[in-house]
Amino acid sequence: VQDLFRAKFLSGYQVLVTAGPTREEIDPVRFISNRSSGRMGYAIAQAAQAAGAQVTLISGPVALSPLTGVQLVSVYSAQEMLAAVMTQVATVDIFIATAAVADYRPSQPLGHKFKKHEAHWQITLERTPDILATVASLPHPPFTVGFAAETDNLIEYARAKLQLKKLDMIVANPVGIAGIGFDSEENELSILWAEDSIELPRAAKTELAKQLLEVIIQRYQKSGR
Ligand code: CTP
Ligand code: CA
């Protein structure tokens, strides 16, 4: 890994990374979101920059500092993240979707604060756009890498997502285990593509990011794009 990074093996490449959660507004003071800290995505953006790539990081709301040398686009909702991705994607070589995009949003966000007059409150939710699937189905998509966060059937569900969304690669990430995944410093990853897979055992997200980038660039070069 060290040698590849010293050789700036991503020089001349444009890499686009999504990171963090999105927030979907219920009313002006409330939102739906999730436990993503953004750490994995920021670590990948940082590693890609260190490897010489020109990196754009499209980030939902996180408590992390901007990265030196990485262009940061801050967004709020899934819809905003999609719009930001689509304005960047045409010139991108590699797209890495680490964001934990909210799958549902309130169908009718309220323009005023909802008052607690009732014992129950029902909110109707609708699906958000799938940013990764949208990118992968473009006529000339970049090399597209997704993540799959799963509590069970990790590899099976990840491989299904690889095929369904027509991705070049998917990174399976167990969640719901103490100390790894969402909102933690460490992770363990399985990287899957059509022909094969590789396991990256538990390590700091910063270390895993470098190892993952190495695998991505090898596959990207073999893909001949
Ligand atoms: N993703 C996305 N846009 C969405 C939902 C997910 O771009 N609206 C991306 C994520 O960034 C990730 C991949 O799709 O790279 C898989 O996300 P995940 O939540 O694991 O899977 P989903 O397809 O959303 O399905 P489910 O949550 O039901 O498992
Ligand atoms: Ca999801």
Does residue 76 fall inside a structural domain?
Answer: yes
Would you say how long the chain is, in residues? 225
**Distance (Å, whole) CA 72 – CA 177:** 30
Domain span at 136: 2-104+123-223
The Cα 124–Cα 216 span in angstroms is: 39
Tokens linked to 94:
């590699």
- 67: domain CATH number is 3.40.50.10300
The atom of ligand 1 lying closest to the CA of 131 is: 7
Q: What are phi and psi of 118, to 5 degrees?
A: -105, 160
Out of 112-116, 177-181, 196-200, 217-221, least confident range: 177-181
pLDDT of 114-140, one tens digit each? 999 999 999 999 999 999 999 999 999
Asked if the model's pLDDT at residue 181 lies above 80, the reply is: no
Would residue 115 count as lying in a domain? Answer: no
Within a domain: 61: yes
Question: What pLDDT sits at residue 63?
Answer: 98
**Could you tell which of 81, 125, 130, 175 is best to mutate to test the pocket of ligand 1, judged by most ligand atoms within 8 Å of the CB?**
130
Ligand 1: which atom is nearest the Cα of residue 132?
Answer: 7
The CA distance from 24 to 164, in Å, is 25
Identity at 59, one-letter amino acid code: S
Res 2: pLDDT: 59
Joined together, the tokens standing for residue 12 give: 């001349």
Residue 126 burial (C-beta neighbours within 10 Å; 0-12, 13-18, 19+): exposed
Nearest-angstrom CA–CA distance, 35 and 180: 12
The answer to whether 147 is annotated as binding is yes
- List the alpha helices (DSSP H) in the chain: 2-6, 39-50, 78-88, 131-136, 154-164, 205-223
DSSP string, 105-118: EESS--SSPPPS-S
CA of 96 to the centre of ligand 2 (A): 15
Q: Is 161 annotated as a binding residue?
A: yes
- Whether 131 is in the pocket of ligand 1, judged by its Cβ within 6 Å, is yes
Do residues 94 and 13 touch, judged by C-beta distance below 8 A? Answer: yes
Q: Is residue 202 part of a domain?
A: yes
Please give the ipTM for the structure prediction.
0.99
Written as six digits, the tokens of 49 are 């920059």
97 lines ligand 1 (CB under 6 A): yes
- Among the listed residues 34, 153, 173, 187, the single catalytic one is 34
- Give domain status of residue 36, yes or no: yes
In the three-class reduction of DSSP (H, G, I as helix; E, B as strand; rest coil), residue 150 is classed as strand
State pLDDT tens for residues 37-81. Answer: 999 999 999 999 999 999 999 999 999 999 999 999 999 999 999
How many structural domains comprise the chain?
1
11 domain-assigned: yes
